[in-house]
């Protein structure tokens, strides 16, 4: 089995342990949303490929200082299209060896989705150091991750799917968590209302909370 290069999502998200996931994109709002996130301290934004206009959003944000991540990547031909846009990072909703192999050949840093220990083992064997647990809450939440991560100490996890500001502390209490992802700071109604001040406040407070929680867990690990 081919092995991927060790694309380091831990380094990508080292200063930003909260990945904003923009699922219901609005093309006209993209420039202002990007500027708002930058002002709130973000450097990375995931734009999911669930709508055709997501491609237009990625195109329009090419000049943004934000590092763009394409989410919900499911087909190798999407990776080729991302290459033409200069997008170097991608996330898949589940484990697919064909997609993983295509990502290796394209040079795109893929964060593969997994939902079972077997899928995590396959990803590890192929060279991945970080994987995405999805749908994290529906699978059983932090307790499920703690159980499957125990025999897989070589892997770090990014949890998405049902993660919120209310339960973020439970996820960051686990040392295996590199980051979490969510959409709550990109509330669709706030974007439609163009309430950028509210979005900036929510995004900034959420990121501050995520940083504090992860730092606490890291410090506990050092003391232990």
Q: From the CB of residue 58, how many other CB atoms can be counted at a distance below 10 Å?
A: 21
Q: Which residues are known to be catalytic? A: 46, 132
The verdict on pTM exceeding 0.85 is: yes
Q: Annotate 85-140 with DSSP letters as a single string.
A: HT--EEE-SS--HHHHHHHHHHT-EEE-EE-SHHHHHHHHHTT-SEEEETTHHHHT
- Whether CATH 3.20.20.70 fits 9-114+178-223: yes
For 4-57, the pLDDT digits (tens) are: 444 578 888 989 999 999 999 999 999 999 999 999 999 999 999 999 999 999
What pLDDT, in 10s, does the model give residues 160-215? 999 999 999 999 999 999 999 999 999 999 999 999 999 999 999 999 999 999 99
Rounded Cα–Cα distance for residues 47 and 206 (Å):
18
Q: Is 9 left (phi over 0), alpha (psi -120 to 50) or beta?
A: alpha
Report the sign of the C-alpha dihedral through residues 114, 117, 122, 125, in that order.
positive
Backbone torsions φ then ψ of 4, nearest 5 degrees? -85, 165
- β-bridge partners, 20: 182
Percent pLDDT > 70 in the chain is: 95
What per-residue confidence (pLDDT) applies to 80?
95
149/50 Cα distance (integer angstroms): 29
DSSP 30-74: HHHHHHHHHHTT--EEEEESSSTHHHHHHHHTTTSSSEEEEES--
**DSSP 3-state percent helix, strand, coil across the chain (nearest 5):** 50, 15, 35
pLDDT of residue 223: 60
Going from N- to C-terminal start, the domains of the chain cover 9-114+178-223
Cα separation, 187 vs 119, in Å, equals 32
Measured CA to CA, the distance from residue 219 to residue 192 in angstroms comes to 40
């Amino acid at each position: 089995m081919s092995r991927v290069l060790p694309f380091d999502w831990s380094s990508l998200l080292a200063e930003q342990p909260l990945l904003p996931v923009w699922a219901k994109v609005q093309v006209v709002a993209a420039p202002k949303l990007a500027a708002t996130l930058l002002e709130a301290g973000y450097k990375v934004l995931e734009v999911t490929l669930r709508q055709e206009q997501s491609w237009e959003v990625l195109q329009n944000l090419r000049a943004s200082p934000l590092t763009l991540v394409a989410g919900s990547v499911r087909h190798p031909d999407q990776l080729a299209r991302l290459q033409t846009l200069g997008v170097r990072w991608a996330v898949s909703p589940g484990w697919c060896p064909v997609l993983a192999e295509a990502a290796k050949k394209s040079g795109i840093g893929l964060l593969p989705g997994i939902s079972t220990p077997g899928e995590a083992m396959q990803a590890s064997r192929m060279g991945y150091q970080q994987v995405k647990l999805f749908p994290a809450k529906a699978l059983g939440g932090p307790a499920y991750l703690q159980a499957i991560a125990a025999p897989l100490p070589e892997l770090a996890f990014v949890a998405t799917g049902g993660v919120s500001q209310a339960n973020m502390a439970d996820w960051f209490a686990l040392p295996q968590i590199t980051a979490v992802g969510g959409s709550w700071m990109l509330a669709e109604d706030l974007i439609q209302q163009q309430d950028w001040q509210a979005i900036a406040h929510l995004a900034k407070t959420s990121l501050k909370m995520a940083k504090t929680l992860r730092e606490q867990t890291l410090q506990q690990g050092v003391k232990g």
